[in-house]
Amino acid sequence: KDMDTHTYRLPLGVCAGIAPFNFPAMIPLWMFPMAMVCGNTFLMKPSERVPGALMFLAKLFQDAGAPDGTLNIIHGQHEAVNFICDHPDIRAISFVGSNQAGEYIYERGSRNGKRVQANMGAKNHGVVMPDANKENTLNQLVGAAFGAAGQRCMALSTAILVGEAQKWLPELVDRAKNLRVNAGDQPGADLGPLISPQAKERVCSLIEKGVKEGASLLLDGRNVKVKGYEKGNFVGPTILAKVKPNMTCYKEEIFGPVLVVLEADTLDEAIEMVNNNPYGNGTAIFTTNGATARKYSHLVDVGQVGINVPIPVPLPMFSFTGSRASFRGDTNFYGKQGVQFYTQLKTIISQWKEEDATIAKPAVVMPTMGN
């Protein structure tokens, strides 16, 4: 009796973000605007490979009226990451990047009592049913596999062709052959270079390993040459077929313009393949059958599912819900989950007894000076 209970959502204080190279503007915008709207200040570390985009964002943010000191930028590599993980004033860390880095940041940050959300690697599967719209599906597969040279965590890097859809493979190869490789600032370029010579070397190594382990190399992009950039980090569209789940090119995230193709006889077999893979970022099914789509979306153990949508990245009012080995933490990025991550709850219980209430004599005259 006479008690009230209220729960408030309050800012944490100082939060931090660590962003990858591949989306140097978009990923920071997943982080600091929401954190700051929730009342926090923010420390942002961009990738050391592309620090400029965040500096432009910060300047725009400052020009828009953000108070000094509310958004801060730190540059660096391991020492900067360790500083963020260890500093006692930082309450929460948002990270997007590789599994190796994400696991390290999640473990070290959590050990120091911080909230950590880490979006990490992926092996996103596109399941192609024989009743799918063929033209649309082939175009979607090629665009989702090779766009951004495959350097995105939602790239559709794995195709499972079910039943009669396996006959579409030659046409898939032909469409991939028509993509144009060039510097990203050149007109008509469909895909550009990889981020570094080391990245190119790793991608080429995984292609070679796939061939040695028994995959069929239907399209080889390792020897592509771009005029004026003969020593550039370019790899053209590459397709490995007859891939098996035990092959390295299937088990590892390649992060390059490489599509690995597996075959399944039934939808159930395809679902089993997807669920046996440790990653759970995104997946897509291509079909014109609603019951098939419903079964797949309910049974597949992946955080984001597209039905005839190759890259199912949610709009900002929802949340980015990658799962399993693709995510560490218990609260995802942006949307309602993002607000929850950057805030903490405080519950206040108060008691004001009715019998303690006082009733003052009402004033019936207009207040005047001295009264």
Residues 185 and 57 in one domain: no
Residue 216 has pLDDT above 80, yes or no: yes
pLDDT in tens, 148-199: 999 999 999 999 999 999 999 999 999 999 999 999 999 999 999 999 999 9
Q: Per the structure, how many domains does the chain have?
A: 2
Q: The domain that contains 24 carries what CATH number?
A: 3.40.605.10
Residues 33 and 155 in one domain: no
Residue 356 lies in a domain: no
Q: The domain that contains 263 carries what CATH number?
A: 3.40.309.10
Sign of CA dihedral 263, 271, 312, 133: positive
Confidence of residue 360 (pLDDT cuts 50, 70, 90): low
Domain region containing 22? 3-120+326-348
| Cβ 92 vs Cβ 114: under 8 Å | yes
pLDDT in tens, 36-47: 999 999 999 999
Check if 153 is active-site.
yes
Which is the catalytic residue, given 85, 153, 204, 249? Answer: 153
Distance CA 165, CA 189 (A): 29
Residue 145 lies in a domain: yes
Note the pTM of the prediction, 2 decimals.
Answer: 0.92
Residue 266 lies in a domain: yes
Residues 299 and 337 in one domain: no
Summarize the confidence of residues 222-238 as an average pLDDT: 96
Distance CA 299, CA 53 (A): 40
